[in-house]
Amino acid sequence: MGLNEENELEKVYIGGEAIVKIYRDRVEKIRKKKKYRIDELDEAIRKYRTKHEAKILSIARKAGVPTPIVLDVREDTIIMEKIEGTPLKDIINKSLSRKVGELVAKLHDANIIHGDITPLNLILKDNKIYFVDFGLSFIEDRIEPKGVDIHVYFESLKASFDNWKELKEAFIDGYKKYKKWKEVLERVKEIEGRGRYIERKEKKSFNVSSL
Amino acid sequence: MYCLGIEGTAWNFSVAVVDEKDVIVLVNEPYIPREGGIHPREASQHHAEKVKDVLTKVFSKVSPEKIDLISFSQGPGMGPCLRIAATVARVLALKLGLPLVGVNHCLAHLEVGRWKTGAKNPVTLYVSGGNTQVIARRGNRYRVFGETLDIGVGNALDKLARYMGLKHPGGPKIEKLAEKGKKFYKLPYSVKGMDLSFSGLVTAAQKLYDSGISKEDVAYSFQETAFAMLTEVTERAMAYLNIDEALLVGGVGANKRLQEMLKIMCEERGARFYAPPKELMVDNGAMIAYLGLLMYKHGYETSIEESAIKPDFRIDEVEILWD
């Protein structure tokens, strides 16, 4: 692997926390130094998260969820296999959304909270759906973060697809493979009802006088 | 148009008059607990006792006949304190025969920040005693993209300060101590997506102090950790929403180190950082007056029947009808 051959670089994404460089044959995720943090803290965070994400990628794969293979981990960089396929956002349908539900059931059964499930982060290749970004993931056995995890997915469906309702139903179908599905979905409903997620209130808070 | 605004959600009883351009008069009567933290009933008694003084001072600068509109902080906040502000507002509105507008305290922080800094469509970091939120506008609502899962960062600072024997308010004292801190000790750094948690951080910092580490180093380690968390979630929201402005509001925003960190973060991403002057950053009547004016001009008015306090009033409940 010619790791320094910049001409192989195809795309760069700059996120809030990391830079993702997509090469012809691999993906590099680099957690760059943040100047606002003091060095001791900054190094500890970047090292920990890099190691942690690489670990979760492999735990998820062991749990039966397709993820890119980690080729190398350095202090602040994960080098992983490039998944060449189609982002789910371009092709999502009921059967794919059901499959996402089944895979999230597997993640949650392994107590992996993905943290950012959207059709943008999922790639279909050889009839398998790959979860490629575990940058916000953590391990937790409580119901609440699992509910938030699913809520994030539903919100992303709502924002991008007109048929979000059937995609949501299909996901729920697939998710029923997780033994605590009922509890989690009840929590999702509760989260939807919380103030921060209310888009539009039926009742106005104030009187609007005729202008 | 002159709007008189009354703030009384927690520690400050504050009344101001503003017009479209500027703050005409601002009078503050902060409640300082003799010991411990803010006690809601004691704070409300303090506010009630100061009403006459504060209004007298305000009316000596702007006579009541000049006022066109009354606004007050309807929530969120401590019930007993909110009730004082709401009562004063209702009495003034009825007595002077003026329209009344109840406003959301968090939205007031944000809008006065935009007003005084010129920020157009920022990601706002709102940090105070009870509130810690990352807010941005989407369509006709401000939405909370991240927030504390337990206590506000100001509350966390106060708790640590009290534990180390410092008097309320603890934030400025922690800031002073932190300036002299030399050695950094690792503390729990808790960012979950765009949400934050501070209670574990406080407990760990208290243990650090118990183990004999100097107040200066504890304060320094605490600030560096907590503020890095705040800066990180702000940056995450900016990246996620593709926004290149950050606005800092709320009492903890007066902290120079927090300002510095946000500024560096913005410089690194080619974004602009905004912070209003300190007197408009902490809880104050001017922000309530300004938002009241803005809302009234866009058709909002609160009848007496609808003027009940809303201790859990959330920013996304208000439809934003202005640019």
**Chain B residues inside the 8 Å CB shell of A116:** 193
Q: What percent of chain A has a predicted confidence (pLDDT) above 90?
A: 65
Residue pair B280/B16 in contact (Cβ under 8 Å)? The answer is no
Rounded CA-CA distance A95/B112 in Å is 49
Q: For the beta carbon of residue B59, count every other beta carbon within 10 angstroms.
A: 18
As given in the structure block, the two tokens for residue A172 are 């729920």
Residue pair B292/B71 in contact (Cβ under 8 Å)? The answer is yes
Reported as a single tens digit per residue, the pLDDT across B8-59 is: 999 999 999 999 999 999 999 999 888 777 899 999 999 999 999 999 999 9
Task: Tell which of A47, A133, A156, A205 to mutate to test the B interface (max B CBs under 10 Å).
Answer: A205
Nearest Cα of chain B lies from the Cα of A210 at a distance, in angstroms, of 7
Residues with Cβ within 8 Å of B71's Cβ and at least 6 positions away in sequence, in order, are B3, B4, B5, B6, B89, B100, B101, B102, B103, B288, B289, B291, B292, B293, B295, B296
Q: Do B192 and A145 touch (CB under 8 A)?
A: yes
Rounded CA-CA distance B101/B115 in Å is 19
* Residue from the list B189, B232, B302 with its beta carbon closest to the beta carbon of A206: B302
Q: What is the pLDDT of residue B33?
A: 87
What are the boundaries of each domain within chain B?
3-109+280-317, 121-276
Q: What is the pLDDT of residue A200?
A: 34
* Residue from the list A37, A138, A208 with its beta carbon closest to the beta carbon of B299: A208
Reported as a single tens digit per residue, the pLDDT across A66-108 is: 999 999 999 899 999 999 999 999 999 999 999 999 999 999 9
DSSP A121: S
Reported as a single tens digit per residue, the pLDDT across A159-198 is: 788 899 999 999 999 999 999 999 999 999 987 776 444 4
pLDDT less than 70: residues of chain B: none
Catalytic hit among A42, A72, A76, A116: A116
Q: For the beta carbon of residue B56, count every other beta carbon within 10 angstroms.
A: 10
> Domain spanning A8-81: which superfamily?
Phosphorylase Kinase; domain 1 (3.30.200.20)
Residue pair A55/A46 in contact (Cβ under 8 Å)? The answer is no
**Chain B residues inside the 8 Å CB shell of A38:** 184, 224, 228
What are the boundaries of each domain within chain A?
8-81, 86-197
As given in the structure block, the two tokens for residue B254 are 């007066």
Q: Do B261 and A36 touch (CB under 8 A)?
A: yes
Q: What is the pLDDT of residue B68?
A: 98
Q: Would an 8 Å CB–CB cutoff place A205 in contact with chain B?
A: yes
Domain B3-109+280-317 -> CATH class: alpha beta
Q: What is the pLDDT of residue A196?
A: 43
Q: What is the pLDDT of residue A205?
A: 37
Q: Would an 8 Å CB–CB cutoff place A34 in contact with chain B?
A: yes
DSSP A123: E
* Residue from the list B264, B300, B312 with its beta carbon closest to the beta carbon of A206: B300
Number of inter-chain CB pairs under 8 A, A vs B = 98
* Residue from the list B186, B232, B306 with its beta carbon closest to the beta carbon of A207: B306
Residue with tokens 């008015």: B301
Q: Where are the beta strands (DSSP E) in chain B?
A: 3-7, 12-18, 23-30, 69-75, 100-104, 123-127, 132-138, 141-147, 191-192, 195-196, 245-249, 272-274, 300-301
Annotated active-site residue A116? The verdict is yes
Confidence of residue A201 (pLDDT cuts 50, 70, 90): very low
Rounded CA-CA distance B261/B146 in Å is 18
As given in the structure block, the two tokens for residue B90 are 């209702």
**Number of helices followed by number of strands (H, E) in chain B:** 10, 13
Q: Does domain A86-197 have CATH number 3.40.190.10?
A: no
Q: What is the pLDDT of residue A5?
A: 56
Nearest Cα of chain A lies from the Cα of B266 at a distance, in angstroms, of 10
The two domains B3-109+280-317 and B121-276 share their CATH topology (first three levels equal): yes
Task: Tell which of B189, B256, B260, B310 to mutate to test the A interface (max A CBs under 10 Å).
Answer: B189
Q: What is the pLDDT of residue A138?
A: 87
> Domain spanning B121-276: which superfamily?
ATPase, nucleotide binding domain (3.30.420.40)
**Chain A residues inside the 8 Å CB shell of B193:** 115-116, 136, 148, 152
Mean pLDDT of chain A: 87
Rounded CA-CA distance B101/B74 in Å is 9
Reported as a single tens digit per residue, the pLDDT across A124-144 is: 999 999 999 898 788 889 898
Q: Would an 8 Å CB–CB cutoff place A15 in contact with chain B?
A: yes
Q: What is the pLDDT of residue A194?
A: 62
B162 - beta bridge partners?
A: none
Angle between helices B215-241 and B199-210 (to 10 degrees): 160
Task: Tell which of B217, B232, B291, B309 to mutate to test the A interface (max A CBs under 10 Å).
Answer: B232
Q: Do B235 and A44 touch (CB under 8 A)?
A: no
Q: What is the ipTM of this complex?
A: 0.88
Task: Tell which of A14, A20, A37 to mutate to test the B interface (max B CBs under 10 Å).
Answer: A37
Query: What predicted TM-score, i.e. pTM, was given to this entire model?
Result: 0.85
**Chain A residues inside the 8 Å CB shell of B314:** 195-196
Nearest Cα of chain A lies from the Cα of B38 at a distance, in angstroms, of 26
Residues with Cβ within 8 Å of B138's Cβ and at least 6 positions away in sequence, in order, are none
Written as one letter, the residue type at B175 is E
Kindly calculate the radius of gyration of chain A based on its CA atoms and give it in whole angstroms: 19
As given in the structure block, the two tokens for residue B48 are 């009630």
* HSE (side-chain half, CA atoms, 13 Å) at B179: 9
As given in the structure block, the two tokens for residue B319 are 């439809």
Nearest Cα of chain B lies from the Cα of A203 at a distance, in angstroms, of 9
Rounded CA-CA distance A30/B240 in Å is 17
Rounded CA-CA distance A27/A4 in Å is 13
Q: Do B268 and A45 touch (CB under 8 A)?
A: no
